[in-house]
Each structure stands twice: as structure tokens, then as C-alpha cells.
Amino acid sequence: MFQRILVPLDGSTRAERAIPVAARIARASNGSVVLVRVVSTVIEFWPYMAPQPALTQMANDTALTGAEQYLSAVSKTNRNSGPLWPTGPNDTCCGTLPPG
């Protein structure tokens, strides 16, 4: 029925309560659960300042690292709930999409 179930997480316990439910559905349909945390990229809002690409990149990297750590912790906490994806050595996946 379902091959992958996408569970968007915002860091709240309310959102995390969806993981066991998704895992039960995935287990029943022989599927897997994909945990997602959206990370916004830093946009410079100061029109009168010169762009600071190094600071912007550092802020983006910090946000991505935080998301990776969060997803890793959540997937380890819910390991007994069922199949989580990806099932690699780190159990986390992080990718970026272009803006727009």
C-alpha cells in the first residue's frame, strides 16, 4: 500500500507523536518512514550592509547540523517503532533544495 511515509517534524512533541503511528502503517504495508526537518536558509535582511557570505554559510551550516542531530536523535529514540529510512550506518539523511 504505502512504500514510504513522510513525517514532517518541527521539533515539537506533538509532531513526534506521529512517528509511531506512521511506523505501524509502514510495518503493515511493508514500507518505511522518512523523517523530514525543514531548514530555512539565512537571507540577509539588512539592505545597508555589505553581504557577508562567510557568515551566511556558517549560519546555514549550523542550521543543517542541528537538523541532522535532531533527526538522528529522533530516529534513535523511535528505533523500536518500526522501519525508518534511510537505514544506513548514520540513520540520517540531509539534503538541500534550491530556493524557489
DSSP 30: T
Read off the amino acid at residue 28. A
Element holding 37 (H helix, E strand):
strand 32-37
User: Is residue 27 within 8 Å of 56, Cβ to Cβ?
Assistant: no
Give residue limits of the domains in the chain. 4-85
% pLDDT > 70, the chain: 68
Query: Does the pLDDT of residue 53 top 50, yes or no?
Result: yes
Q: Which fold does the domain 4-85 belong to in CATH? A: Rossmann fold (3.40.50)
Q: How far apart are CA 85 and CA 34, in angstroms?
A: 5
Query: Does the pLDDT of residue 8 top 90, yes or no?
Result: yes
